[in-house]
Amino acid sequence: MKINGSLAAASLTVLLFNASPCRTQTGSQRSGSYYSGRYVNLFVQLLGKNESETRGKIDTAFNRLFFGGDESQRVCYPAGDDMGYVEDIANGDVRTEGMSYGMMIAVQMDRKDVFDRIWKWAKSNMQVQAGPHSGYFAWHCKTDGTVLDSTAASDGEQWFVMSLLFASARWGNGNGIYDYRTEAQEILNTMLHKEDEPDHGNVTDMFDAKSKLVSFVPAAQASWFTDPSYQLPHFYELWARWTNNQFWCDAAKASRDLLQQAADPKTGLSPDYSNFDGGPLDRWGRGHDDFRFDAWRVAMNIAMDHEWFDKDPREVEEANRLLNFFYSQGIDAYVNQYSLNGKPLSHDRSLGLVAMNAVAAVASTNRNRQEFVEKLWNSPVPSGFYRYYDGMLYMLAMLQVSGNFRIYDPTGKPVEACTK
């Protein structure tokens, strides 16, 4: 599973912010926010709200989730004088998923204080320092920092890297662990070159060398399949430009293809887990070949890739198909889990899915997209026992639907890459 050939030359010397990406040309010939610098605010465009109202909604959500009441509102808690963690309240643990989302939200909100607290906790408690997993982050810990499982979950590393690179561009680099650019570079090196280390054991690279797709978990048999919601082609597009590494160009294309292959052609629903060819996979007999909690996020990834780069018209078709399915279930009645062919698998409704469907509206051309955006606007900030996952997705959706989920580019100008 080694990533070899032309990539071998990049081992341990991935240079961020090179002047020469895969290919360079002016961005005027391409659409997408990366080139134009413009981000759509659907609350304004579709609902007639203004920017002040939008900012008020976003600030309220952020303040409640990060600084609200301990018992029923906040998910981010201080730890000592200079650290903090995002807690999965329902499970009583801290996950790289939530920590990396928290960092991304903080950089988008221009809250360096919050970002640095979360990053220091993650770096101090979650990043493995020795042994086969070294360089990766333990996917979950107790709230006191005790590691529960040293295995990495691939979504966390990807969001850590993107958050750190945006922080570097927005705030500059400091010293030690606050040299965001260097920290991101080291994580990227581990993701692509873990198998070059002599003591990696059964711990693998995070991306499958043949398919160019991110693995579910970079270890043993769990590296043989993927999670469609882990596909982040818009991140890979940026990494290709900022590392001069053709692999990320290939990964962007592969992930876009996977997102189409995994989605049901009629409902648009994707499974939690899939094989590298997109076929649904029921690993461990837990129903992950169906549309469940991970799969909610596929809509977000498709929509953000469309907004940032607008390279794949299939994403518009997929967003339309997905929203049409949920609309057919009833805008106020659809539940949070389905078989891929559209059979309800629960009786519950979740704000996290309401939020992700609103993000799908960024890519959709359906008339009904306005109603999905309106449902997000009218939904309260998640609170109570399940506020962690619903709350993180709600906060990301508020930023994304309002045009405030933005690229912070260290190079200062758009360049072309990934033209193959």
Instruction: Classify 210 as helix, strand or coil.
Output: coil
| Residue 26 contacts residue 420 (beta carbons within 8 Å) | no
Helix (H) or strand (E) holding 76: strand 76-79
Task: Please tell me which residue in 294, 305, 315, 318 is annotated as part of the active site.
Answer: 294
Rounded to 5°, angle at Cα 93 from 87 and 94 = 55
Cα 43 off chain centre by = 22
Placement of tokens 């958050």 in the chain? 163
Placement of tokens 């996979």 in the chain? 281
Q: Which of 361, 301, 351, 397 is nearest to 54 (CA)?
A: 397
**Strand pairing class (83-88; 76-79):** antiparallel
Per the annotation, the verdict on 97 as an active-site residue is yes
Q: Is 330 exposed, middle or buried (0-12, 13-18, 19+ CB in 10 A)?
A: exposed
DSSP 341: T
Per the annotation, the verdict on 294 as an active-site residue is yes
Task: Please tell me which residue in 87, 88, 93, 97 is annotated as part of the active site.
Answer: 97
Active site residues per annotation? 97, 294
